[in-house]
Structure 1
């Protein structure tokens, strides 16, 4: 495989900028700058509706909202706004005790009634949240919230960790939520929001005490190298998601701090198998998957910052990665790829290197976004490997929000997707969202047309299975079905990082990448 990584050289800043004004100007400006935290990110959200997928993620990541519980350093569910919870002997009735100190940013107390109203709002706005929580009824009394589910749901506290369940003050009815977000409980509040820049202020009512910064500015950089250089040059204090090609810029431990770990994320291609699409023929999907050299992509191109892909769930979740990687569906086999194309009636009749049938070349559109440096690189090597067996890949680059809209509408052949391989703390919810049958619009996230009765049956059985060992095997079997059907192509599972100036303390990446800016981020002593 030809090396295609091209790194842009950047000149270092040489001089020290000196203020000419005498007296009060210099010291006051420096102190003011220290009070504002600047964070560089890849733009991903165009609104702050907490009950939506991307809006909810922004609300949590930007330090605006909090949920009843959250995922800890080992993905265990730990208290946040709820100080404790328990389930009754009937396995249906849950009691959550809301922290008596919790307060919204407008000074209103977070009572169980406020939490109940917030959850009801989420359930009314989010189909996914309603499906996950399966709530039959709720009752609030003081700081005690009683939740009864329709079926036993041992993972309910994990469901409430999802950003869609950020607790918001529903008594506020005249707020511009898309641009200011709801009234939440986090350390910061919104002053202004746009996709390219968000400005936050300290929450003067933060229930955990004084907030480290007077304000936070979130700057979005669609070009990943520009984001890295902004950190290198001191234009931002912290940057999330620095690409493998730029990590060497931050080797100086006296100047920068790197927080990096294997993630629970995947980078994959969603495959549209609706009738009339080129990938509707399983032989074409298999031919494409067999021709790709995913181990080389991860080791050479991405410099060992990815684990080679195959199954849909990240290795760190413990659902049979090593076992599933032994299946034929996870191997590279160029000869088999060419054979499958021939069996499907595709061959190169005009010598242009692309197989054709009925006078039409086999061409597949590949929709990607470019704010993650690895994605254009992956697209190019996929294009090269596919061309080697006679498939033409047409790369269609767009911004994140345009790609998200294409995914929602089903307007794609093949589409890049990055994200966590579990939803609401469950890999089952993640798999259901994208591959369980979409019958009469009941699963709107599955726009691919994929449907398998065995997969659906396993999903239904898993939802009521109490035995952890059987749950694990069912989850492995569901992944196996997706591999056998070539319902998706997983390129790999990336490491994830947050890199900060040495002047910033506690900017740590968590295994669940919901959590970025917290009240723990502060200036180094």
Structure 2
């Protein structure tokens, strides 16, 4: 079947983009930074969906900790922390210099109220950790967790736990429309899905802020984003795709920051329908030419997929056994073992009078996932599977995967958003038998896998944690629980007059106080 598309690509977009951007004047104002990025939020409520990522990325909010390039938590709003002998009592010292953007001091009580708000409003919060109690005394916050979490500071580094002024909400501020009162170098002054405008936080606690005003435009089409940067209508672009990368490389007018990411692009498989059959899942894995996608489709801006976790995390990437690699004949044989053969000569396998037809959801915000889906559609036709690709908004993909109303869904996911991959592995494949893991509605459940993740989550022994994570990945691969397509490199590109550009593997810190225009 053909592609069902809900967005426009190709020549039409290029033409429209050219007309739009040719009408925009170049902004040489040193006080203003213009950024082109993918859409990231429908509201500014940090506990809704994953919108907290945008709030941290664009300099509005900050966490107790900040990750360095090795994804180790470093002091941020918390100046230091310690843990008791029971590994369940954590004490955080709140930096005495930190103020909210409204000038109110950030005390331990304010941090406590912010964290309590997050747990009250976000179902995701308890998937990170749970606590028995919290106590605030001056600038000291004590958290008593329900069990051992050796990586609690890292868990608190996820943008979901950014620190907001709850009192401002009680006083009438609408976080959803106006944005939270937080501690970052910039404050939102207007917001739509298409654009957010920010002003310098006059009460910023951590030094000079580079711009008086920042504009972030949502430019989802990669061609238009590249054209906007070329035309000078934006100063900086977040993630330029492989096809446009060459326009800026080795060009003195641009600065490129690139790093291997912590992301994996993966195909989630719903085990409750046709894919309840492991032979069908294995055939889907064997039918995917991942090496070719990385080299030809993405021109080596991706590393070909093997394991759930990328090589940048070094959890057995080169040592884990890979049960299925690209092999068209192997894929056909696996399907035949389960009775899926082409009986009518139309090129598609069938059984009991029904063709093996799968619905495949992908979304518009990340162009690489669409390219992957289209390539897979072609390759799966070679093994006789009819795949219908539906390109929709990311919120639709989130809805269908949470409801279980899908066969295949492709997504790009950060595997170590907290400095450890345990949360990622648990969220997508941890058992949901008792409803404790609403993110996993795929039907995958493995008691041994759950035991390994529980061990990795609580052990203070690094070797024990490493071995548990490696073994858990092997279980996913042996079961063909999902298809791991590749690991992207991430980039930011700016005009050469922008200084202070730095990319982080976490992808959290994009607009920082250090950016300035010369």
**Partner SS for 1:127:** coil
The answer to whether the 8 Å contact 2:14/2:224 transfers is no
How far the C-alpha of 1:60 sits from its partner, in A, is: 0.3
Partner of 1:426: 420
Counterpart for residue 22 of structure 1:
none
Note closer, same or farther for the CA distance 1:51–1:30 as it changes in structure 2 (3 Å cut): closer
Asked if the contact 1:368–1:403 (Cα under 8 Å) also holds between the matched residues in 2, the reply is yes
Partner residue in 2 for 1:382: 376
| Contact 2:62 2:184 (C-alpha < 8 Å) held by counterparts | yes
Question: For residues 226 and 23 of structure 2, what CA distance do their matches in structure 1 show?
Answer: 25
Quote the Cα distance in structure 2 between the aligned partners of 1:131 and 1:10. 42
How many angstroms apart in 2 are the aligned matches of 1:416 and 1:209?
41
Q: Secondary structure at the match of 1:258?
A: strand
The answer to whether the 8 Å contact 1:53/1:164 transfers is no
Q: Give the 5 Å matches for 1:401-412.
A: 401-412=395-406
**C-alpha distance in structure 2 between counterparts of 1:285 and 1:378, whole Å:** 17
1:151-179 residue CA offsets vs partner (Å, 9 max, x unmatched) = 22221110110101100001122222122
State how 1:81-100 maps to structure 2 within 5 Å.
81-100=77-96
Name the residue aligned to 1:184. 182
8 A contact 1:224–1:371 mirrored in 2: no
Q: TM-score, length-normalised on structure 2?
A: 0.93
Deviation at 1:400, TM superposition (A): 2.2
Aligned CA distance change for structure 1 residues 67 and 485 (closer, same or farther; 3 Å): same
Task: Tell me the distance in 1 between the aligned counterparts of 2:10 and 2:23.
Answer: 32
Indicate conservation of the 8 Å contact 2:127/2:427, yes or no: no
Task: With the length of structure 1 as denominator, give the TM-score of the two structures.
Answer: 0.92
Deviation, structure 1 residue 241: 1.1
Match of 1:359?
Answer: 353
Cα distance in 2 for partners of 1:50, 1:462 equals 28
Name structure 1 gaps, 5 residues minimum.
1-5, 20-25
From the superposition, tell whether residues 461 and 74 of structure 1 become closer, same or farther in structure 2 (CA, over 3 Å). Answer: closer
- Whether 1:309 and 2:309 are equivalent positions in the alignment is no
Give the aligned partner of residue 146 of structure 2: 150
Alignment check: 8 A CA contact 1:132 1:429 kept: yes
Instruction: Give 2:484's aligned residue.
Output: 490
Aligned-residue offset at 1:272: 1.0
CA offsets 1:108-162 (integer angstroms, 9 cap, x no match): 0000110111111112222332242332221111111112222222211101101
Secondary structure in 2 matching 1:365: strand
1:231 Cα deviation after fit = 0.9
Contact preservation (8 Å) 1:118, 1:170? yes
* Aligned counterpart, 1:520: 514
Q: Is the counterpart of residue 439 in structure 1 residue 433 in structure 2?
A: yes
CA distance in 1, matches of 2:14, 2:219: 17
After superposing on structure 2, the runs of 4+ consecutive aligned residues of structure 1 that deviate more than 6 Å are 6-13
User: Secondary structure of 2:50's partner?
Assistant: helix
For the Cα contact (< 8 Å) 1:455–1:481, is it kept in 2? yes
Corresponding residue number in structure 1 for 2:3: none
Please name the residue that 2:295 is paired with: 299
Q: Distance in 1 between matches of 2:78 and 2:98?
A: 9
- 1:51 deviates by 2.2
| RMSD value, Cα | 2.2
CA–CA distance in structure 1, aligned partners of residues 433 and 387 of structure 2: 30
Residue of structure 2 equivalent to 1:239: 237
Q: Equivalents in 2 of 1:478, 1:252: separation in Å?
A: 42
Counterpart of 1:3? none
**CA 1:252–1:290: 2 relative to 1, 3 Å:** closer
| Residue number in structure 1 paired with 2:264 | 266
Mean alpha-carbon deviation: is it higher for 123-132 or for 147-156? Answer: 123-132
Does 2:217 match 1:223?
no
> Which of 359, 364, 369 pairs up with 2:363?
369
1:282 maps to 278
Gaps of 5+ in 2: 1-8
1:328 to 316, 323, 332: 323
Task: Classify the secondary structure of the residue corresponding to 2:143.
Answer: strand
Report 1:456-475 matches (<5 A): 456-475=450-469
CA offset digits 1:68-121 (Å, max 9, x no partner): 001012212111111111112332222111111100011100001101111111
Partner of 1:134: 130
Deviation for aligned residue 1:18: 13
CA contact (8 A) 1:225 1:373 kept: no
Residue deviations 1:211-263 (CA, integer Å, cap 9, x gap):
21111111011211111111111111111111011111112532111000111
1:50 has 2:50 as partner: no
Deviation at 1:10, TM superposition (A): 6.9
State which drifts further: 368-377 or 192-201: 368-377
Distance 1:376 1:210 in 2: 41
Aligned to 1:23: none
- Comparing 95-104 with 144-153, which one deviates more in the overlay? 144-153
1:253 aligns to what?
A: 251
Structure 2 residue aligned with 1:397: 391
Aligned pairs for 1:331-350 (under 5 A) are 331-350=325-344
Q: Output the CA distance in 1 between the equivalents of 2:359 and 2:440.
A: 19
- How far is 1:393 from its partner? 1.1
Following TM superposition, by how much is the alpha carbon of 1:383 offset from its aligned partner in structure 2, in angstroms?
Answer: 1.0
**Does the 8 Å contact 1:43/1:400 carry over to 2?**
no
Change in CA separation of 1:45 and 1:350 when aligned onto 2, cut-off 3 Å: same
* Distance in 2 of aligned mates of 1:348 and 1:509: 50
Q: Which has the higher contact order (CA 8 A, sep 6+)?
A: 2
Inter-CA distance 18–419: structure 2 relative to 1 (3 Å threshold): closer
Structure 1: distance between partners of 2:226 and 2:84? 50
The superposition leaves residues 427-481 of structure 1 with CA deviations (integer Å, 9 ceiling, x where unpaired) of: 1111100101112321111121211122112222333322211111110111111
Contact kept, 8 Å, 1:68 with 1:167, in 2: the verdict is yes
